[in-house]
Chain A
């Protein structure tokens, strides 16, 4: 999202290529669907790819940068600059609907739309396995910075919840 409509054909082609670059932690989720890929500009011979970090300390960002350069290089684009944009700060609201589906298929409950940081907002979390809405928080922190750990009260399976941010 946030991609402007007025875009050169070559930029559109590059975005299509970059849809192959995935989050190293969730290899089925593309950086475009994750909302990390913000923009692509082509000026003269240089390609600028703009990304925004999910969490300030997310170690995946370095890997994502390298993967972007590698993806474009293997497709014949040598002159690539990856720029990190801090503002506006990334939010889980930028996850595309395809991205949310991908998360669910990977066994991770997608974030409920929040638009703010409050955890006190009423959440609507579903077990990604049995779709029960009766779930309990085990820990605010999960396997990566962006997730918390929940357990389903119905099927009793623990699962990761991609938290609102």
Chain B
């Protein structure tokens, strides 16, 4: 198994699946400015997915393109975090998920600027510029809604309780992560966790939200064991290429 390929592919999958979920808000957000913001951010994720999947295809050396990897793989071959694929839910759920992942990506892409893989350095430099304002926006929403009205606080707390079980997966290192950190391709998950926790716990306190303790940590996404919602996400995303193979605009 080509571990560098796996490492890059998983990052591409996270960007692609999260971007696809976010795009579901297009035309449905609470108000126009938010709709535009959500679609803008979704586009940034899909854009970096394209770069990461293209690079993954090069590393794999089997001639697969970004489109092959996005549209012609089955559920079990996707290595994204489960958190990315969870159904959109309400805006509280959307924003808390977004914030936790934006904060994660902020530190990931910051660290990737030191990668031994030059293409990743270039992609990360670009992605970091975008993630910097993603995390500012989602973090602002977490505070506005968490420290808002009684109802908005309750809904945010409910969303945090629900999504927190999925955060453990972000920092579990398997042989692919160990390989990447040993080769200087990416940071250790321990380092990311340290940065992430410092940022997130402080923000949640400010937002008057309580981190649930003693939760069951749900994992499996990176080994291709997904939640029920992944299948329907893929069937929508891949429909065109599956029904009309090779179709082009």
Contacts and interface: CB of A to CB of B under 8 A. Distances in A.
- Secondary structure at the A interface, as helix, strand, loop or mixed, is loop
Given A117-B132, A149-B33, A141 B43 contact: no
B36 A86 contact: no
Please tell me the size bucket of the interface on A.
Answer: 20 to 34
Contacts of B42: 57
Nearest to A164: B129
Q: Tell me if B's interface is mostly helix, strand, loop or mixed.
A: helix
Interface in B113-148: 118-119, 121-123, 125-130, 132-133, 136-137
A129 B244 CA distance: 49
Contacts of A145: 40, 43-44
A56 B44 contact: yes
B123 to A, nearest CB: 6
A66 to B, nearest CB: 11
Nearest to B43: A57
B87 interface: no
B36 A141 contact: yes
Nearest to B121: A87
Nearest to A52: B126
B51 to A, nearest CB: 6
Contacts of A3: none
Contacts of B130: 55-56
Given A86-B125, A87-B122, A90-B126, 16 more contacts: A55-B43, A55-B44, A55-B130, A56-B50, A56-B123, A59-B43, A87-B118, A88-B125, A117-B132, A117-B133, A118-B132, A138-B33, A139-B33, A141-B40, A142-B36, A145-B44
Instruction: Give the 5 A-B residue pairs with the shortest CB-CB distance, closest first.
Output: A57-B47, A56-B47, A57-B43, A87-B122, A141-B37
Interface of B: 19, 33, 36-37, 40-48, 50-51, 118-119, 121-123, 125-130, 132-133, 136-137
